[in-house]
Amino acid sequence: MIEWKTKSVKMKKLVVSILVFNLLIQVTGCYSSKYISKDEFLNSDKGDIKVLTNNDQSYSLKEGWYFIKNDTIFIDSQSKFKINPVGVSHIVLSDVKEIERKEYNGTNTAIMITASTVVITLLVGVIIFFANIKQ
């Protein structure tokens, strides 16, 4: 009975360890933010953006929620009930102070996945090693 409980505790620790490292990957993220000019924004691929206006209003817009026409960002509700999550129907580009775009960062992602795999492998090896020593 005691042997079963110790194996159960070790398994729980292993699961928690794996979840902690997965959380680290999630927190560090695969995306980084970059401030871009209005001209860069108009000439680049669209994606998730955060717009800060001259009166310090901040709007987070997901790709597909907006389109640009005549130097204006129009917010288009994508829900079938036409609920606008931002609260405004358009943002004039002349009123925009800065635009922040999220970009995929492949290098950091590869490093974090590799490092996490190595750490998890080592952790599992250490747990198995100490479990075998006590037996």
Q: CA of 92: how far to CAs of 2, 61, 69, 81, in Å?
A: 69, 14, 10, 25
Cβ distance 89 to 65 under 8 Å? no
16-37 confidence digits (pLDDT tens): 777 777 776 666 667 777 888 8
Q: Where are the domains of the chain?
A: 22-129
Helix (H) or strand (E) holding 76: none
pLDDT of 28 reads 61
Q: How many CB atoms lie within 10 A of CB 91?
A: 20
Looking at every residue in the chain, the average pLDDT score rounds to 77
41-70 confidence digits (pLDDT tens): 888 777 888 888 898 888 888 887 888 888
